[in-house]
Amino acid sequence: MKLLLALLLSIPLLAQAPAATPAPVTAPAPAAATPTPPTEDWLTGSIDLGYRFSSVGGSNDDYRSVVNLGSGPRLFGLDFTIIDPKKRLFDRLDVRAYNWGGDPYNTVHVNASKRGIYDFNFDYRDIAYFNFLPSFADPLLGSGIVLDENSYNTRRRMSDFQLDLLPGKRIMPYLAYGRDSGQGTGITTFETGNNEYPVSDSMFDKTDNYRAGVHLEFNRWHVTLEQGGTTLREDQQAYMSGFNAGNNTAPFLGQQLDLTGLTQAYGIRGDSIYTKGLFTASPVSWLDLYGQFLYSRPETNVSYNQLDYGSFVVLSSLLFYTGEQALEFAETKEPHTTGSFGFELRPLKRVRVIESLMTDRLHTAAAGLLTDMILSPASVAQTTPLPLSGMLVMNYNQEQVDVLLDVTRKLMLRGGYRYVWGDAEAPAALIAGVGLESSELRQNVGLAGVTFRVTRKLSANLDFEGASTSHAYFRTSLYNYQKMRARARYQVTSKLALQASFSLLDNQNPSPTINYDFLSRQNSLSATWTPGKRVSVLGEYTRSTLRSNINYLEPEVLVPELSLYRDDAHTASGLVDLALPGYSGLAPRLAFGGSLFISSGSRPTSYYQPLARLSVPLHKNLSWNSEYRFYGYAEAFYQYEGFRAHILQTGIKLSR
């Protein structure tokens, strides 16, 4: 990737030669009466370089899980555009790269195009994923051991290339390639013999996605056909050597359970072919048609190998053993078909009818063999071959009709109906002793909406869904629910604009053993005020509340309980941007503001991110930029996870 960046950085240098020669006139001079487009530089852009200082107090692991910005020299941003006056390889090349030089989020985007010939896009992202939160999974915290047994220190890298040929023509072929990969280490748990042992883990996965297709675009219809495929490679290994007492440190029937050696490896290989067919058509002025057919068939093959030594017990037979070897081979296929069809009908000037039908069908089938050998000093090795089979069936269907009525130029009313139905089948938990469990989905949804544009300065819209359900897949699925969103905008004066929004979801499942009562609300208000040319102010405030109650049976005592979850959050953000008194035609700018988040309820949390930014122009094309940002994070129930970080970054920005 560094090589690629170096290559991209060198493009402006290589491209200097043609600019030295006078640009040829490529088009006849326009008539004197017509305007003349201004000439542009062949190269424009900017580079923003600097240094970041960071100081962290409190939990560094939590800081890395949430913010993860470090100290050091950085390329904060680079963007440039080259316009080739001779239009040889490209008409225009745009490159944007941000946060290079050790930052956790690196991005590059390149676009090169030659009008009517090609359009090429490349996108690359490298995102660090560090997650170590003791509050998440630390069964040993009571013993003073601070450890997250599900932690990660990985990077994910995504690359996407797309080449569109003959853009703007009637027939446009395209080719694309994408890669998504992840690599890193972490801590996972090895569960065996009535205990779980935190062990180190190394992970690697890579998915390559190849696709090609063609767009056929004509005035009254369009078809897109695409054929693609993916390949997956995933390797995961967990190793351990030495004594590991696991999470259950109490002796079991007088015997200490422990792990002294482990080798565990997953080798997963997969591939998929997929097909996409899309069409739109407008056969007559009052009818538009849409349809799509999507098919994919991913499959995976896995080989699993496990060898562990220590002191373990099989609970069901109270057999103590000292080692185990497991081997597994399995194959899974998942054909997945989706189709949709719809139309927009305009039978009358004021009326639009939108109808859509959709079906989504998926069937997972897996088969394999697991051979498990138990090694015990007291008896001969016991080998158990266990055939594995897994399956999941989903059939989802949806039909929806909406009628839109333009009552006046300013008022539109919408009403509709959606019927959702389907069924699903999945293996039950092993402990259930039932092979499969199945469920159905039957939902009637009423839809309504209003769009009201009182004037160009004041507008509002309201969206409502209300559903009655007779069957749902899960206890927490949408059941008898009302969903509403409302939004209004008001341009009070040329200097002040206000916006308010409100959303609500109320979901109830009154079944006696479920009693699910879910309510979430969100209210937002934002204002943009520009009292003068030198000042602008942006402020936003959001209040959100969430309530969720549901019945469950306390597992250890089998007593009915009510699970309660509450979240009551205030979020505010603001930014004041000031143009300071200038000199020599250059005006420094100062911006300050930031955001705060405070929540109470099931996990009271506060997170503050104030910032101040100063930009001082030193020359027409050179400025000195500095930014200070504070991150303050605290949790009432997990105080050891709080952190405070001061981040100062300063650098110069050179632009042309």
Partner 1 sequence: MSSSPQVVVAAVFLGWLCWPAGAQTPAPAGQASPPATPAYAGSEACGTCHEDIYNAFQKNPHKLVDTQKRRGFDGKACESCHGPGGKHAESADKKDILNPANMPPAEADRDCLKCHLNQPTHIGRIQSSHAKNEVSCTACHAIHRNGPNGLVPRNMAAINEQCASCHTGVWAEFQRPYKHRLPEAAMSCVDCHNPHGSILRASRQTYAANEPGCFRCHGNLRGPFTFEHAPIRLEGCGACHEPHGSANPRMLTRAEVRYMCLECHANLPTAPGPIKNPPALGGVPPAFHDLFSPQFQNCTVCHMKIHGSYVSQDLLK
By CB under 8 A, what part of segment 634-653 binds partner 1? none
Stretch that binds partner 1, among 254-262, 284-292, 578-586, 615-623 (CB under 8 A): 284-292
By CB under 8 A, what part of segment 132-151 binds partner 1? 133, 135-142, 149-150
Q: Between residues 309 and 633, which has the closer beta carbon with respect to partner 1?
A: 633
Contact 648, 52 (CB under 8 A): yes
By CB under 8 A, what part of segment 286-345 binds partner 1? 288, 290, 292, 294-296, 298-300, 302, 304, 306, 326, 328, 330, 332-334, 336-338, 340, 342-344
Taking the C-alpha atoms of residue 361 and residue 399, their distance in angstroms, rounded to an integer, is 15
Contacts of 530-539 with C-beta under 8 Å, sequence gap 24+, read 530/495, 530/496, 531/495, 533/579, 534/578, 534/579, 535/576, 535/577, 535/578, 535/579, 536/576, 536/577, 537/574, 537/575, 537/576, 537/577, 538/574, 538/575, 538/577, 538/593, 539/572, 539/573, 539/574
By CB under 8 A, what part of segment 518-547 binds partner 1? 522-524, 526, 540, 542, 544
By CB under 8 A, what part of segment 203-232 binds partner 1? 203, 205-207, 209, 215, 217-222, 224, 226, 228, 230, 232
Contact 161, 124 (CB under 8 A): no
3-state DSSP helix/strand/coil percent for the chain, to nearest 5? 5, 70, 25
Taking the C-alpha atoms of residue 379 and residue 140, their distance in angstroms, rounded to an integer, is 34
By CB under 8 A, what part of segment 560-619 binds partner 1? 560, 563, 565, 567, 569, 571, 573, 595-597, 599, 601-603, 605, 607, 609
Distance of CA 515 to the CA centre of its chain: 31
**Is 72 among the residues that bind partner 1 (CB under 8 A)?**
no
User: Which residue type, as a one-letter code, is found at position 529?
Assistant: W
Residue selected from 86, 170, 457, 620 as contacting partner 1 according to rule CB under 8 A: 170
Q: Between residues 379 and 389, which has the closer beta carbon with respect to partner 1?
A: 389
Q: Between residues 158 and 586, which has the closer beta carbon with respect to partner 1?
A: 158
Stretch that binds partner 1, among 17-25, 48-56, 529-537, 549-557 (CB under 8 A): 549-557
Using CA atoms of 57, 59, 65, 66 in order, give the dihedral in degrees to the nearest 10: -50
Q: Between residues 23 and 586, which has the closer beta carbon with respect to partner 1?
A: 23
CB of 646 to partner 1, least distance (A): 17
CB of 651 to partner 1, least distance (A): 17
CB of 581 to partner 1, least distance (A): 28
Taking the C-alpha atoms of residue 55 and residue 71, their distance in angstroms, rounded to an integer, is 8
Q: Between residues 171 and 586, which has the closer beta carbon with respect to partner 1?
A: 171
Stretch that binds partner 1, among 6-14, 200-208, 252-260, 617-625 (CB under 8 A): 200-208
**Is 163 among the residues that bind partner 1 (CB under 8 A)?**
no
Shortest CA distance to 372 belongs to which of 362, 382, 357? 382
| Structure-token pair, residue 127 | 């995102």
**Is 33 among the residues that bind partner 1 (CB under 8 A)?**
yes
**Is 364 among the residues that bind partner 1 (CB under 8 A)?**
yes
Quick check: helix, strand or coil at residue 370? strand
- If binding means CB under 8 A, how many residues of this protein chain bind partner 1? 209
**Is 202 among the residues that bind partner 1 (CB under 8 A)?**
no
Residue selected from 510, 583, 618, 639 as contacting partner 1 according to rule CB under 8 A: 510
Stretch that binds partner 1, among 6-14, 27-35, 47-55, 611-619 (CB under 8 A): 27-35
Give the CA distances from residue 540 to residues 79, 440, 528, 613, in Å, rounded to whole numbers and listed in that order.
Answer: 30, 43, 9, 19
Q: Between residues 189 and 379, which has the closer beta carbon with respect to partner 1?
A: 189
CB of 101 to partner 1, least distance (A): 15
**Is 401 among the residues that bind partner 1 (CB under 8 A)?**
no
Shortest CA distance to 223 belongs to which of 274, 175, 276? 276
Taking the C-alpha atoms of residue 141 and residue 470, their distance in angstroms, rounded to an integer, is 44
Stretch that binds partner 1, among 3-11, 281-289, 375-383, 622-630 (CB under 8 A): 281-289
CB of 383 to partner 1, least distance (A): 17
CB count in 10 Å sphere of residue 590: 14
By CB under 8 A, what part of segment 4-23 binds partner 1? none
Cα atoms found within 13 Å of the Cα of residue 391, Cβ hemisphere only = 10
